[in-house]
Structure 1
């Protein structure tokens, strides 16, 4: 049975309004993105804000980027999510000890550098003059050292280029996590 004329008219009207308004909404969004990109250098740089901390996970946010570190069965994972592009990727190679996951997070939050994975599956970062850099860029004029990030078991072991002040309360809270094992059978 057909809908009454009033119902069909309402549906057609909503579709027409959406179709007509869609280009306008898109141009406003792109104009806002353009304005943010043009004025972004004039605005003070926003810092990372810790927006969530529980026994299982911690989350930082800056503009359209979210960095999260959370517990899984064998350790901790760290991820980066670009909310404006609906993209999420892993910052750690897989489950790692808590201190190693927080080292990878600090590397990204404090230095905007992501760790690399070597042929053996270990996370590493290159440093020049005591600062972490992207290891795969060409720095022929300066020798660099490699630091592996997967062997840390406490914050005291982290390198000096990691600011531990922001990580200590997070480490204290996440280290209290109770491991939940699946029941046998």
Structure 2
């Protein structure tokens, strides 16, 4: 892997800004995208403020872009999905909400569609989606469950079908 000295320094020092700049500068280089995804994961591990900093610097868009641009690459998708999971886990509700608004759901879904069930990328995408579900951003229910909720009548129990749509204008 041919990494520039600046990128190696950013990786060693866990400099999120430098890591993300290199991801943007070399979007077509899978090794760089994979190493940067792993570095983001390590930078934000057990550090909620670093997760929020990564989001503020555009890390969600960079990770989802890396996934969408290389959806067939097994290792890159695994690293990027686990980095998205770590960002959402450490950053909490606000980061999970930002992930939905900034296209991460579509990137994770593309991984599920491109990789077989049980594969590392598929499992990593499910892990990230599970974190989004924990924050109420997505649901794992199928179409039949949504239809059942709309028609099911239970005496004495209150049920509701709630649809959450992101607000426009951010």
TM-score range, shorter chain: under 0.3
Query: Greater Rg, structure 1 or structure 2?
Result: 1
Task: Give the strand-richer structure, 1 or 2.
Answer: 1
- Relative to the length of structure 1, the TM-score reads 0.22
- Relative to the length of structure 2, the TM-score reads 0.24
